[in-house]
Amino acid sequence: MAREATKGRKAVLTVVAWGIGLLIFFPILWTVITSFKTEAEAIASPPAFVDFHWTLENYTTVNQRSDYLLHFWNSVVISIGSTLAGLVIAVPAAWSMAFVPGRRTKDLLMWMLSTKMLPAVGVLVPIYLLARDTGLLDSRIGLVIVLTMVNLPIIVWMLYTYFKEIPGEILEAARMDGATLSSEILYVLTPMAVPGIASTLLLNVILAWNESFWTLNLTAANAAPLTAFIASYSSPEGLFYAKLSAASTMAIAPIMILGWFSQKQLVRGLTFGAVK
Amino acid sequence: MLSPAVVLLFLWMIVPLGMTVYFSFLRFNLLMPGTNDFTGFENYYYFFTDPSFWPALVNTLILVFGVLAITVIGGVGLAVLLDQPMWGQGIVRILVIAPFFVMPSVSALVWKNMLMNPVNGLFAAIARGLGLRPFDFFADAPLASIIAIVAWQWLPFATLILFTAMQSLDREQMEAAEMDGAGPVWRFVHLTIPHLMRAITVVVLIQTIFLLSVFAEILVTTNGGPGTASTTLTFLVYVQSMLQFDVGLGSAGGIVAVILANIVAIFLMRMIGKNLEA
């Protein structure tokens, strides 16, 4: 009897949760479905859900008519470039704060975090003018530099919380056995730090891929990543839904797959370790 | 080994911010080169007396509080729901989290055109199917529509954080309360909510930081309009400095935004700092 009741309860909860889940997911699903329609079907009323002529036409047109691949490549270069640059700067910093903490380590960490609290619009004008005067406006290098700095505090913090969990005794033991500093880092620390670094890399690529303030304000035709390219579809005409959907699907698919693997790291990285 | 990170971040912070402060005291318009006179607080005076300033401030507050209310209440509800026994919980979680990974310009355009468009949108089709007149979302309720889009983007974040916090809820205490005859509502109010309080605070503070900077969603959907109906502080500063080329005025606005954000940041830093000691 009691078992029946729990099973019934579980069934109800399952239906409710799936219903809400699908409702929240629906705009994405709708975008993917629309991307396989013709433009006429995309604005047909009443709209069709599965009962239409499925076509890949939009994906080929989007690739042919616009420089879609260029913008996709810009997104790849900018997100991965800024993440790698950030890691190169942040790994030594996080390493020394985690293993050789000084009296001011905590203040330093808090200060780094505080730079992240600075609203972007507060420094929009100077960054824009600096980029313009150094020729970095609408260039991939310029955006890599800006996004590296924007996300550096998060990278340092995430790495710090991961490195903190590596027991210091292991390093001491290695030192006792005569390991030099370089071999200590190479053979003892690195293998233990790799999962943390990988998680940081993953989250940061996602953040950089979707960054939409600097990418929209600092780029034009050449260096525009997908965020800016898609925003240029913002015309009021109704005859491009299917192509917009195809471009959107291609823009969000890679990062969504990465994102599903990074749920835990997301919590840790975005709350600066305050919720684990 | 610390120094590269520290030096770079310090430069990144202090140079542009210093320039913004400096510009905010100049009469500096990119359309009128060569007339960069020092004007004291004139830009601040013009910024605060700009007819767009108060609407922008009010819109910013409505946007931030509106999105926070929806995401926190919805997030707590979803976190509790996802914590219940069910089939396919992992898949439901993936469905719920998905919107967070959609880039802002995509979600804004998809909502604007394919869902909310009064002629070709899905909502209009549904309204017509029910015999109702389609609602013109961005003309009649621009700010509320933007709040809906932004809330859709941030609900996954709140849910994910609160769901993670749910994992550390003391199950034995829950069962003990249930044995003592405490109903689900009592348990929710007296055990679940107090346990989640810390995570809720973190969600509120972090989201506030990001929500104060909402930009692409407004640019793509309403461009701040009609009139100033959906202009926020961030968008106002963008309009003044990037469209009207009034660097001085935009800089003054930027500094005001920095000060507002710092008020929130102080609380957030305190919480994280406390956690660091523990």
- The dihedral sign for the CA sequence A201, A202, A204, A208: positive
A233 lies in the same domain as A139: yes
A119 lies in the same domain as A191: yes
Q: Distance from A266 to chain B by nearest Cα, in Å?
A: 9
Residue A127 structural domain:
66-270
pLDDT at A238 over 60: no
A8 lies in the same domain as A140: no
Indicate whether this model's pTM tops 0.90: no
- How many domains in chain B? 1
With an 8 Å Cβ cutoff, are A226 and B103 in contact? yes
Pairwise pLDDT comparison (B93 vs A102), residue with the higher score: B93
Taking only residues 95 to 124 of chain B, the set having a beta carbon closer than 8 angstroms to any beta carbon of chain A reads: 95-115, 117, 119-120, 122, 124
Give domain status of residue A275, yes or no.
Answer: no
A44 lies in the same domain as A74: no
Give domain status of residue B251, yes or no.
Answer: yes
Q: A174-195 burial by CB neighbour count: b if 16+ within 10 A, else e?
A: beeeebeeeebbeebbeeebee
> What percent helix, strand, coil does chain B show, rounded to 5?
75, 0, 25
pLDDT at B184 over 60: yes
Pairwise pLDDT comparison (B256 vs A103), residue with the higher score: B256
Query: Which residue of A24, A227, A275 is in closest CB contact with B103?
Result: A227
A82 lies in the same domain as A52: no
A31 lies in the same domain as A135: no
Residue B242 structural domain:
228-257
User: In terms of Cα–Cα distance, which of B34, B268, B221 is closest to A275?
Assistant: B268
For residue A33, what are the contacts with CB-CB under 8 A and spacing of at least 6?
Answer: A49, A50, A245
pLDDT at B149 over 90: yes
CA distance B29 to A221: 25
Of A83-87, B115-119, B190-194, which one has max mean pLDDT?
A83-87
Give domain status of residue B168, yes or no.
Answer: no
Give domain status of residue B120, yes or no.
Answer: no
pLDDT at A3 over 70: no
A250 lies in the same domain as A155: yes
B-chain residues near A42 (CB < 8 A): 114
CA distance B80 to B84: 7
Query: Which residue of A9, A124, A152 is in closest CB contact with B254?
Result: A124
Biggest CA–CA distance in chain B, Å, is 79
A249 lies in the same domain as A222: yes
Taking only residues 33 to 52 of chain B, the set having a beta carbon closer than 8 angstroms to any beta carbon of chain A reads: none
A129 lies in the same domain as A229: yes
With an 8 Å Cβ cutoff, are A149 and B20 in contact? no
pLDDT-derived band at A1, boundaries 50, 70, 90: very low
A179 lies in the same domain as A55: no
Give domain status of residue B61, yes or no.
Answer: no
B-chain residues near A5 (CB < 8 A): none
> What percent helix, strand, coil does chain A show, rounded to 5?
75, 0, 25
Model pLDDT for residues A219-231, shown as the tens digit of each residue: 887 888 888 888 8
Q: What is the CATH number of the domain that holds A123?
A: 1.10.3720.10
Query: Which residue of A115, A259, A271 is in closest CB contact with B12?
Result: A115
Q: B115-133 burial by CB neighbour count: b if 16+ within 10 A, else e?
A: bbbbebbbbbbeeeeeeee
pLDDT of amino acid B59: 93
**Domain stop point among A42, A59, A76:** A59
User: In terms of Cα–Cα distance, which of A10, A79, A160 is closest to B84?
Assistant: A10
Query: Which residue of A25, A34, A113 is in closest CB contact with B98?
Result: A25
For residues A43 and B121, is the Cβ–Cβ distance under 8 A? no
Q: Given its phi and psi angles, is residue B131 left (phi above 0), alpha (psi -120 to 50 degrees) or beta?
A: left
pLDDT-derived band at B273, boundaries 50, 70, 90: confident
pLDDT at B95 over 70: yes
Give domain status of residue A94, yes or no.
Answer: yes
- How many domains in chain A? 2
**Domain stop point among A33, A59, A85:** A59
